[in-house]
Amino acid sequence: MQSNYKMKFVKHILICLLTVMLFYISWPPNSLPGFIFIAFVPVLYLLFNFKPSLCKLSSTYLFGLLFCTFFSLNFLLTSWLIYAHWFGGIFASIVNGFLMTLVCLLIYKIKVNLGTKQAYFAFPILWLAFEYLHLNWDMTWPWMSIGNVFAEHPNWVQWYQYTGVLGGSFWVLIVNTLLYFSLNKLLKKEGFIKPLLFSLLFICTPFIISNKTISNTNYFSGEEVKVVLVQPNYEPHNEKFSTPLNTQLQEVESLLESVWIKNPDLILLPETFITDWIWESRIETSPSVLRMKSWLSKHPKTQILTGASTGKVLTDKEAQKSTARISRNGTIYEVFNSALLISKQEESQVFHKSKLVPGAEMTPFSSLLKPIFNKFPVKLGGTIGNFGTNDSLQNFNTTKGNFTPIICYESVFGEYVSSFNSLGSSWICIITNDGWWGDTFGHQQHNSYARLRAIENRKYVVRSANTGISSVINPLGMVEQFLPYGESGIIEATITKSDTKTFYAQHGDYIGRLASFLAIIYFLQLILFYLKTEKTDLKSITK
């Protein structure tokens, strides 16, 4: 009997390791995404064949297996976070692994209490609801949304213009469910050909739609915009914030010497390029801004987009904001991770980063966790503390039209980026500093995910990253030019404006909203089942 338990345990461990391996080789930058279509099959096999009689603490045992699986795959693919902060890197894997485990445990409970068929339907619904939650709550971390797995294969997912990333997640989850169903039929020696053919149909149809979408597109006929992307390449831990800003400005000025003759429309500098603190009421007199304006003296139509840290004094009415800070002299103010659009003859435009990194730039569930993060601050993107955000959506206005300024982490949020289309955005600019993570998967994944934003919005994406990867991505998600990690330099590119408003840009994450509604129904069904069972037990005791 004991050896039988050992065999079962070894079998379960191998199942879990298989899922981890399949995820790892599927995900960017390994990018063999075909394996993602079977990555959940081992876990589904475990859930649908798990016997509670295996041990006394069967639920705890199952939780342990699942948690080890999902923690491992999260840590393998996002362990680069520990280069910015060891606690943040481990904590993100723990939380995400825990939430993925909860989803699978719910599937198991539905299977046991509501039936196997209900569990089959519930699996994609509950997982999509989890991903949608991860886009919209304080502990937001959508980095591991399943639809991101195709980021380096844009030809597979041109239909993201209709569904966004959650459409890719739905595709993967449905195919995994169908393939497991086919496998289960095969193991039971029942007819499996029809469900297998159905699975193949679900795999192939999106490819056909994607190819047809590419052949019917014309996103390169708009007005041209000449852009220059600057990659200064300052290592952020020991170099970026210790090197005098004047030195950095001089080096960037020398990089730009060759471009002025071509009169570019827009020059991009990375996130927090301006390291000196700037009060927003004094932007126009800031030495660094004045220095950049001097570059434009002979090129008044050129504008510069740069990252900066800015502050704003709050009024008495605003002093109660959770992001308010108090200086030593009693001034109440707010701090922002900002983008500035600098022009020669006009006042600088200011944009505040609004999708903030939990723990690094904002305190999730502040009333509960603020004491913890105050004691153990997490530095994941170069800045620490509770930052302010924009009160509303805002594009930058240029002589060539409007564009959407996106700062670092914001570029992972499809619906958020697409929402700027309602204000008439013609292209997307991303400024970031991925050097905090070192030469790891982090900067590669971040650049790849930007390709999905291009497809979802059918607009050019231009990206300036401090240490790389800086890139120019066309509306089909193809990288036209890039500067690799760890090199300083510039990219000169001509992009085209697009006024396209895709179905996804107009409707956002409707798949996630629908899944969340259906997930609530499953929760209510489970609650009603337990209440009914408890009532039946009470009656039997009474009798």
- pLDDT tens for each residue of 262-313: 999 999 999 999 999 899 999 999 999 999 999 999 899 999 999 999 999 9
CB 294 within 8 A of CB 287: no
- Tell me: pLDDT of 395 over 90: yes
**Residue 543: predicted pLDDT:** 54
Secondary structure string (H, E, C) spanning 168-229: HHHHHHHHHHHHHHHHHHHHCCCCCHHHHHHHHHHHHHHHHHHHHHHHCCCCCCCCEEEEEE
- Give mean pLDDT, residues 11-28: 95
Q: Cα–chain-centroid distance for residue 452?
A: 10
**Residue 213: predicted pLDDT:** 84
- Tell me: pLDDT of 376 over 70: no
pLDDT band at 217 (very low <50, low <70, confident <90, very high): confident
Give the C-alpha separation, 513 to 519, whole Å.
Answer: 10
Side-chain-facing half-sphere of 54: CA atoms under 13 Å: 20
Q: Is the dihedral of CA 416, 153, 430, 246 positive or negative?
A: positive
- Tell me: pLDDT of 348 over 50: yes
- Tell me: pLDDT of 382 over 50: no
Placement of tokens 């000025």 in the chain: 253
pLDDT band at 369 (very low <50, low <70, confident <90, very high): low
Q: What is the pLDDT of residues 28-59, one digit of tens each?
A: 999 999 999 999 999 999 999 988 765 556 78
Placement of tokens 């050129």 in the chain: 302
**Residue 365: predicted pLDDT:** 78
- Give mean pLDDT, residues 218-243: 90
- Which has more pLDDT, 509 or 366? 509
CB 174 within 8 A of CB 205: no
**Residue 58: predicted pLDDT:** 79
- Tell me: pLDDT of 8 over 50: yes
Q: Residue 248: which residues within 8 A CB-CB, separation 6 or more?
A: 232, 234, 273, 275
**Residue 325: predicted pLDDT:** 84
Main-chain phi, psi angles of 145, to 5 degrees: -60, 135
- Give mean pLDDT, residues 394-413: 95
**Residue 268: predicted pLDDT:** 97
- Give mean pLDDT, residues 337-362: 92
- Tell me: pLDDT of 374 over 60: no
**Residue 380: predicted pLDDT:** 44
**Residue 396: predicted pLDDT:** 96
Tokens at 515, concatenated:
């899944």
**Residue 361: predicted pLDDT:** 83
**Residue 15: predicted pLDDT:** 93
- Tell me: pLDDT of 390 over 70: yes
Strand (E) or helix (H) holding 121:
helix 116-136
Residues in the chain: 543
Q: What is the pLDDT of residues 446-494, one digit of tens each?
A: 999 999 999 999 999 999 999 989 999 999 999 999 999 999 999 999 9
**Residue 412: predicted pLDDT:** 97
Question: pTM of the predicted model, to two decimals?
Answer: 0.92
Average pLDDT, the chain: 90
